[in-house]
Amino acid sequence: MLQHLSVTLSLISVAVILLHLGGIVAAAHALMHTRTPQGAVAWVFGLVLLPYVTLLPYLFLGSKHFTGYAELHHSRLARRRTLDDPASRQLALHYPPHAGAERFSAISAMLGVPFLGGHRLRLLVNGSAAFEAMFAAIAAAEQYVLIQFFIIRDDPLGRQLQAALLERAAAGVRVYLLYDGVGCHDLPASYGEALRAGGVQVHPFKTRRWRNRFQLNFRNHRKIVVIDGVRGFVGGLNVGEEYLGKKPPLAPWRDTHMELQGPAVNELQLAFDENWHWITGDQIALRAPPAADGQATSLVAATGPADEQETCSLYFVQLINSARRRLWLTSPYLVPDSAVISALRLAVFRGVDVRILIPSRPDHRTVFLASTLNAYETVRSGIRVFRYQPGFTHQKVILIDDDTAGVGSMNLDNRSLRLNFEVAALNLDPVFASEVEAMLLADFAQSLEIDTGDYLKQSYLRRVAMHVARLFSPVL
């Protein structure tokens, strides 16, 4: 009995030593590769002192560089070549941007993508309008359909998408579908198998050749639909019944999508092709968008961890810094980095009307607690924060002054700002901006504004929980 106990204790001792050695090795990796000093301190101390609880999470959350994809960053290179070729220069001459786009020139230079005029825009408020428009566009496709979502459910809406893609593939249209491997972890294999059997090309987006199932960083959060290179859709909606507001307790679900037609659709399909190339090694034969006669100036901002800069965070900072009269933002999560928070505070000092719309109900409780604490602190700095009351708001919209509005997949959290692949359309058009203004005014009218004293009204234990939740902001 004593001998058996001695062997057991020896094995435990060896396991403890190995865990601590692994923690030290991982801490060295975190020290060299974590992007922020705060994150490095948190990981190093956790891995050295408590490897029993931090080593496994670090294996799946600690990686901050997407080196493999960066080496194969085909779309960015293609964009730069396209910007330099004669056809692209002619495109810029034929579709000159609105003069107001000059104040966003840093975004254009950062992404290597020009602002172009000549776009037609359509605001799609909530899932019913968005999916009706997207299914109608898919049904009219003649050459190819590009579809990319973070989440696809095997539910009535997901099966409606499946049927629509199979119908087009049967008609001889090339159909390409990408979905995120983690976002769609519960999508049954039979869903993709039925599509492949019907001629649809289907692939999950993988960020690693191994351990992808549990690699929570570097997810593909983009929502892209492109039809024949002519019509593009982008926004916050995924494919599932909850996005139609049919699943309590988050129902009704508030979201926003948009359609654009014009030269920027090319950037939208190049963003898709970049991801497709990474997964398959193949590039898709794409059409250049046909002549457009709209009045809007647009730029498609595709950001992600393969960029040399933290492009999503810088995108928000530049947009905030450009505001002179008004800056209204909507996001399901309010866990921004210090650069974005500082830009928002400076906007208030410039006299800008800064408002942020967030949910009143949680879909992820830890994120909700951290968002709540950040909301209380931003209110004290003069930023107005509203909680949407009817249901869950998932939209990612920004309105700047009277002429600029952006719609996309970018949240105000660390995952969008640094870790995920995201996409948005930034548009200069007073008519479209006025439609977004009317939409947001209706949302604010159904919201409650957070007061500076609300923090102290919370119980002490809830305040502690909020502060603890915010400690996890780098991985939320």
What does the alpha-carbon distance between residue 144 and residue 139 come to, in Å, rounded to a whole number?
11
Which entry of 223, 255, 273, 429 is annotated as an active-site residue? 223
Q: Give the Å distances, CA to CA, from 45 to 13, 33, 99, 224.
A: 21, 15, 51, 40
Query: Is-catalytic flag, 247?
Result: no
Active site residue 221: yes
Cβ–Cβ < 8 Å for 311, 66: no
Residue 185 known to be catalytic:
no
Q: 3-class SS at 472?
A: coil
Task: Report how far residue 230's alpha carbon sits from residue 222's, in angstroms, rounded to the nearest whole number.
Answer: 19
Nearest alpha-carbon partner for 122 in 387, 395, 407: 407
Distance CA 150, CA 178 (A): 9
Q: Please report where in the chains the tokens 């915010």 appear, as a residue.
A: 470
| Residue 237 DSSP SS3 | coil
**Amino acid letter, 157:** L
228 is an active site residue: yes
Candidates 307, 337, 394, 403; catalytic one: 394
Choosing from 255, 273, 307, 401, which is the catalytic residue?
401
98, 119, 180, 228: which is the annotated catalytic residue? 228
Among 221, 257, 273, 403, the active-site one is: 221
Token pair for 83: 């910007």
Paired tokens of 366: 């830890």
| Omega before 51 within 30 of 0, i.e. cis | no
Q: Which of the residues 255, 307, 396, 429 is marked catalytic?
A: 396
CA angle, residues 48, 49, 55, in degrees to nearest 5: 60
Q: Indicate the DSSP class of residue 327.
A: E
Catalytic residue flag (residue 119): no
Active site residue 451: no
Question: Catalytic amino acids?
Answer: 221, 223, 228, 394, 396, 401
